[in-house]
Structure 1
Amino acid sequence: MATRTISQEAFEELVKENVDDLGMDPTEALQDAIQTLTLQGVDLSGIVTSVPGDTNPVIDCLDRLKHLQSEPDEHELAIAFNTLHELCSNPNPNANSNSAIATRNGAVELTCSLCSKIPRATGSRELLLSALNALSSLLHDVQSTGTFQRCDGPTIVIGFLADNKQDVEVLSSGFRVVASAATGDEIVKETFMELKVDEQVLEILSLHKNRGIQCLYDAVRALLTPDDNRVVASQVYGYARKFAKIGIAEALVDCLSAGLCSPDLVPACTTLKFIAVNDEICKSIAEKGGVDAVLRCIDDSGEQGNKAVAKVCCSLLSKLAGSDMNKSEIVGKGGMEKLFTLSCMFSDDPSVLQEIMSIISVLCLRSPENAARAVEAGAGDLAVQAMKKFPAAHQMQRNSCLMIRNLVVRNPENRTTLLLYGIEKYIRKAKQTHSNCKDAATDALRDLGLDNYNL
């Protein structure tokens, strides 16, 4: 069902009628119009809902930019773009509505037009930064990203990235635009890939090792996320393979090798997980030293109490363990024991424990030898103690059920051990308490050999 909309002119006319025909004061007339249209299911996003006679700061800012378009002044343009960015981004409490108003009133077209006139190699750095920051705050839905696409925004931004490879601040602002524009828009993703953004990413990773350009990683993840519900089949799987093929996966492994001292460690782990989309890539990451690097970081995160690193490293290791060859390498290098050591270090944090359970579950999938080793190392005790201690942690409870199933499904001898730990009552409690645990708990109870697993 299509969303009902209204033009700015029609909205203002309705408010005016409330004042002229019904004798309402301006504030009352405005609120009545808003309430009436909302009850009718009209989408008011992008509509200026100011009291008649009042000015709107977003419209004022856009008017200022239009004036400067005809009478350019780089410093004044930068100030206006900074104002627009502040109005349309966090922490401004009205950021979402301001951004909608701006895009509905031509802000994306205007900003792209002004950006296209900034000399790529010799333009004002102050103006370039302010324009890119403003542009990133305007791209918030498929309408705004579609406008960005039609205005040749991707080409403009890629040009600025190519000409400012040594400037970390410009790179950050540019990749922030890439991330915002690619989010939820398959066409924009495709355009950036056609413009060889992957080659830009690889070159900049090589030039700026461990410089913490967070927005670069955000951009890669946005490009590799299938989040446009308008398309049936996303192309991001192919993009991930291309990223891996040209060497980006290897460059990210280098970031991991720098260890906990690197500001790139957490985003590199998260991004590498997006690239590791098949068995071949997972194996190649291991061959480049990825498993060794992750295991070292897991050790260090436990010793230093770094929860963020522990979580992302376990999550990445789970993805890499999707390759059976990598499972053998992880276990052969003491990975199982390292995970149980880590669980002791973070025994009070269910968010870390759930990641540890996830990787143990993957390591035991289709591997009776690993399941036997995990139980010997203390997987049963880990499950019981965690489920008992954190009954409200629904994702951890679910991951525990999944782990238990993989511990016993091909290892009947493990069933007795786990049942003696008293695991059944905690699985049943999770099943009754958390809707997301129902299927996983049922499967765990069934594979434990319990007849009444459906109860």
Structure 2
Amino acid sequence: MAKRISQETFDDVVRENITEFDMDPEEAVKEAVQQFESQAWLKCLILQKAFPNNLCLPRVDLTNIVKTRPKASACGDQGPKHEILQTLDALQKSLGSAAPQEAAEYLVSFSEQCQGQVASRYLAAQKGAYPVVLSACHQALAEDQGFLVKSLNALAALTDGQPDLLDAKGLQLLVATLKEHVAVAEVTCSGLRCIRHVCLKHEQNRQNLVKAGILPLLTGAIERHSCRADVVKEACSAMRIMTFDDDIRVPFGHAHDHAKMIVQENKGLKILIEAAKAFPDNPALLGELCGTLSRLAVRNEFCQEIVDLGGLNIMVTLLADYVDHQELVRQVLGALRAIAGNDDVKDAIVSAGGTDFIVMAMTRHLSSPQICEQSCAALCMVALRKPDNSRVIVEGGGALAALQAMKTHPKQVSVQKQACLLIRNLVARTQAFSQPILDMGAERLIIEARAKHRECDDVAKAALRDLGCKVELRELWTGEKGNLAL
């Protein structure tokens, strides 16, 4: 585990380099970074000599350190402080003196300093920025909507990567804001951004917000502002995060339950597909919509509903029209992979020509491991338990494209694994395809994948077995009593 130091400790070293060694500020900061990293290496060497069998990570974590020299404030009534803290002090004073114009300017400055600067917003949070910004949001409710937007933007910037900052008062404020200002697109967009930031990697915040009624507000925002791409995009992102299970601090989350609630109680699928129809020329937004649909396709009937609502036709059309738009293609492939969990949808994808477009996308973006992985995974799902679909895929060049992906990305375990799974599904129920696929060089590529990647061992053996290749299948335990030999 990397060692962390405080901002004060780092600033003291920078100050010492300037005063004691007559360095300029930029040089002093650079030297301070090198000092801490060198100390970590030295400590590691000492530990390795004392404990030669122990592994040591020679690293010090400076991610959350602002690597600039603190400056004196403009008014001169305080000691040197980092710019973000000076802005925070000024914001707090302007809020206390009821100067909304000044406060609005400081909110904008604060947001700009937090955005894209992890260390600055971390330092601000450590020095009590959250209650100040939350106070600005509460005060903004009595001011004009422009001030409210700036306050919410500051809150979103501060909580980006710091969802633990949200408390009960903040949660109530966000829900109330989205309810009371639902007709104002700018306020809604800023509020949704806050929701997205406080829910990412934080299961408790997600559950608390769902209990507070956030899901109908997300779908309602899309319906109300169906012509505003920015609002729809933020609502989609927030909705998708509600279905994540990304908080390592909890044993399991409510991702599946949240997805069901969005679909069954809030007409989520219909709203998303209607939104996709409204923005045919916005690939960035269409990618967000497809990504959200893939997160909601968690049940057999949901997959079929997406097809019935016209979602499949939209996805196939997007692959045809935007095949060169890499990120959109990746999202569409993920959505096709998700809905292909339904056996009837597998056939619908083939009937719509979806497999041909998937192969075309993989061939066009062969250099992208993400697209190769998603393409193989989507074809793998379509071929599962469906020999007729396997024939269409093989005749359409799917097997050859998958093997080309294995050749192109030998170090990408995800690509190798999904390609092995695809080959296995193609031949599992149709042995006639084995020899043509072997003639393409499949055996050598699968053996190499198995040798390089432990994660591929089982799927590679399954593929080799169903291809008719010689493979050792060890029986680890027969269930008989007696001594066990490892």
1:357 aligns to what?
376
Q: CA deviation at 1:170?
A: 2.4
Cα 1:208–1:106 change in 2 (3 A) is same
Cα 1:369–1:453 change in 2 (3 A) is farther
1:181 aligns to what?
198
What is the alpha-carbon distance in structure 1 between the residues aligned to residue 33 and residue 326 of structure 2?
Answer: 50
User: Which of 159, 171, 190 is 1:139 aligned to?
Assistant: 159
2:304 aligns to what?
283
User: Which of 415, 419, 431 is 2:438 aligned to?
Assistant: 419
Cα 1:58–1:361 change in 2 (3 A) is same
Cα 1:69–1:380 change in 2 (3 A) is closer
1:292-336 CA distance string (max 9 Å, x none): 22223223234xx33333222121011001111211222233333
1:261 aligns to what?
281
1:261 partner SS: coil
User: Which of 88, 91, 98 is 1:72 aligned to?
Assistant: 98
1:230 partner SS: coil
Q: CA deviation at 1:381?
A: 2.6
What is the alpha-carbon distance in structure 1 between the residues aligned to residue 362 and residue 336 of structure 2?
Answer: 15
Cα 1:414–1:62 change in 2 (3 A) is same
Q: CA deviation at 1:408?
A: 1.3
User: Which of 106, 120, 123 is 1:101 aligned to?
Assistant: 123
RMSD: 3.6
CA contact (8 A) 2:403 2:445 kept: yes
CA contact (8 A) 1:179 1:219 kept: yes
CA contact (8 A) 2:192 2:238 kept: yes
What is the alpha-carbon distance in structure 1 between the residues aligned to residue 81 and residue 109 of structure 2?
Answer: 15
User: Which of 72, 76, 82 is 1:56 aligned to?
Assistant: 82
1:297 aligns to what?
318
What is the alpha-carbon distance in structure 1 between the residues aligned to residue 434 and residue 173 of structure 2?
Answer: 61
CA contact (8 A) 2:366 2:408 kept: no
Q: CA deviation at 1:415?
A: 1.1
What is the alpha-carbon distance in structure 1 between the residues aligned to residue 354 and residue 118 of structure 2?
Answer: 45
1:252-285 CA distance string (max 9 Å, x none): 1113334642453111000111111222222222
1:225 aligns to what?
244
1:192 aligns to what?
209
2:341 partner SS: coil
Q: CA deviation at 1:353?
A: 3.9
Q: Does 1:82 align with 2:108?
A: yes
Q: Does 1:272 align with 2:293?
A: yes
User: Which of 133, 137, 140 is 1:115 aligned to?
Assistant: 137
CA contact (8 A) 2:70 2:83 kept: no
What is the alpha-carbon distance in structure 1 between the residues aligned to residue 36 and residue 243 of structure 2?
Answer: 41
User: Which of 211, 231, 234 is 2:253 aligned to?
Assistant: 234
What is the alpha-carbon distance in structure 1 between the residues aligned to residue 7 and residue 406 of structure 2?
Answer: 55
1:216-266 CA distance string (max 9 Å, x none): 222112222112222112112111100001201111111333464245311
2:167 partner SS: helix
1:400 aligns to what?
419
CA contact (8 A) 1:224 1:239 kept: yes
Q: Which deviates the most, 429-438 or 130-139?
A: 429-438
2:220 partner SS: helix
2:140 partner SS: coil
CA contact (8 A) 2:2 2:61 kept: no
Cα 1:17–1:398 change in 2 (3 A) is closer
Q: Does 1:446 align with 2:468?
A: no
Identity %: 25
Q: CA deviation at 1:357?
A: 1.9
- Structure 2 portions without partners, runs of 5+: 44-58, 72-78, 474-486
Cα 1:48–1:316 change in 2 (3 A) is closer
Q: CA deviation at 1:2?
A: 12
TM-score with structure 2 setting the length = 0.79
Cα 1:227–1:188 change in 2 (3 A) is same
What is the alpha-carbon distance in structure 1 between the residues aligned to residue 224 and residue 167 of structure 2?
Answer: 28
What is the alpha-carbon distance in structure 2 between the residues aligned to residue 157 and residue 364 of structure 1?
Answer: 45
What is the alpha-carbon distance in structure 2 between the residues aligned to residue 63 and residue 243 of structure 1?
Answer: 41
2:226 partner SS: coil
2:272 partner SS: helix
1:130-173 CA distance string (max 9 Å, x none): 211111111145xx4333224x1122122222233343332222
Q: Which deviates the most, 237-246 or 211-220?
A: 211-220
1:165 partner SS: coil
1:35 aligns to what?
36
What is the alpha-carbon distance in structure 1 between the residues aligned to residue 268 and residue 37 of structure 2?
Answer: 54
CA contact (8 A) 1:45 1:100 kept: no
What is the alpha-carbon distance in structure 2 between the residues aligned to residue 312 and residue 33 of structure 1?
Answer: 42
Number of positions where the alignment pairs a residue of Structure 1 with one of Structure 2: 440
1:58 partner SS: helix
CA contact (8 A) 2:356 2:396 kept: yes
